[in-house]
Amino acid sequence: MRDSLSLALIAFIIFTVPLPIHHAASGENKHIGAFFYPSYGHYRSWNTSSHNPPVTWASHYLPDFKPVGFSPSSQLYDSMSEETIRWQLSLMKKAMLDFIIASWWGPRSFEDQTLQRTFKIAGEEDLGVSPSVKWCILYEKEGQSNPSFDEIVNDLKYVKEVFGKSDVYFRLDERLVVFVMADPQDNMEYAEKWREVRRVISGFYTVLKVFPGFVRIKEYSDSWFQYAPANRFECHEGFSAYASPGFWRYDEGPRLERDPSEFARALTRLHYAPAQFLLIETWNNWLEGSQIEPAYQVVSREDSYVQASTSYNTTYIDLVRIILREEANLAVRPSITHIVAGTVSSISAGILIAVSIVKIVRGRE
């Protein structure tokens, strides 16, 4: 009942606040993906900054992982466990994503081991047919250090050998897709290094992180992306766009309030974005509070965490599927003039979101 009321309120907000005007874009050559973090062990990462799971943990949210209610010892999942992996795979299929961008810290890292297990289980689930959700890596080393050219080449050779033979890996132009993180100081030198990497080792489709002035050397990479989930929406035309459900790091106040109606609006903008990659930031970055996985909000009380809300369940996942996939045919394609096209596109976007909300409500009754 409470979920239905909150979603009805979202519908009211959608109809009373003007929507942005967008031109509808072709769905051809568009790929819907989400950033994913296979970083959580048996309290690994949950215990960041001296937190003490299951009493406290490094997030303002508790995953709604099992149907056991608010139970931290059960819900603080282990990314390495088969139960967790299968649960996440089922939700990713529910969201109807094309691909997942998995945080990867190099050979034999915890994330590497988790990803190997995920590839195995994903391949088994699809029983020899093409997996419905593909996977690629987010090369994280560039975001925290300055790996040498030789280190990068060796890492990519490892990726090709360990993951590249699997049908689970996300490919474009028959090449393995690799997203590459960057730190705030990375710029031309970062792009030049990866241009040389592309020249030396074949078979990879690189997607570099944008920086001021990247458009002047855009040909240095196959494509470009931005990672900034503290913003609701951003688009780099021709390359990528993203939407974020919210951002609330474990050690600070919220930078972007979690609001399903605003996320729905951002997804509608994403649907119309003139971009190759349509990205969700993020699937499960619990430390930054940008996840769309089901969760409860928590608050601190007497040196422990207690439940502060009901679970939002699959609300954000349902919005991703319905707005970006199921109701795409509701979008009226403009054909007369740019002005009329923009108006029709805006109206159709409102219809798209409203139908999305109704379907979620009906699905829970």
Determine the Cα–Cα distance for residues 273 and 324; give it in Å rounded to an integer: 11
Q: What are the contacts of 77-81 at 24+ separation with CB within 8 A? A: 77/40, 78/40, 78/41, 78/42, 78/44, 79/37, 79/38, 79/39, 79/40, 79/41, 79/114, 80/41, 80/110, 80/113, 80/114, 80/117
Rounded to an integer, the average pLDDT of 355-363 is 50
> What is the pTM (predicted TM-score) of this model?
0.85
CA-nearest of 321, 180, 208 to 263 is 321
Mean pLDDT, residues 141-163: 96
Structure confidence at residue 199 (pLDDT): 94
Query: Domains plus CATH for the chain?
Result: 2-364 (3.20.20.80)
- The DSSP symbol for 315 reads H
Residue 202 reports pLDDT greater than 60: yes
Token pair, residue 68, equals 């056991």
Average pLDDT over residues 19-45: 77
What value does the mean pLDDT of the chain take?
86
Report residue 338: phi and psi, to 5°: -65, -35
| 154 has pLDDT over 80 | yes
Section 304-324 average pLDDT: 96
pLDDT (0 to 100) of residue 29? 84
Residues with Cβ within 8 Å of 287's Cβ and at least 6 positions away in sequence, in order, are 45, 48, 58, 59, 249, 250
Continuous H helices in 231-333: 260-272, 315-321
- Give CA–CA dist 64/189, Å, rounded: 43
* Least-confidence region, from 30-34, 241-245, 272-276, 333-337: 333-337
pLDDT of 7 reads 53
Looking at residue 10, its amino acid is I
Q: How do residues 44-84 score in pLDDT, each as one tens digit?
A: 999 999 999 999 999 999 999 999 999 999 999 999 999 99
Mean pLDDT of 262-285: 97
H-helix or E-strand containing 122? helix 110-125
Percent of the chain with pLDDT over 70: 80
Mean pLDDT of the region 6-34: 55
Question: What is the model's pLDDT at position 233?
Answer: 98
Distance, in Å, from the CA atom of 146 to the CA atom of 217, rounded to the nearest integer, reads: 20
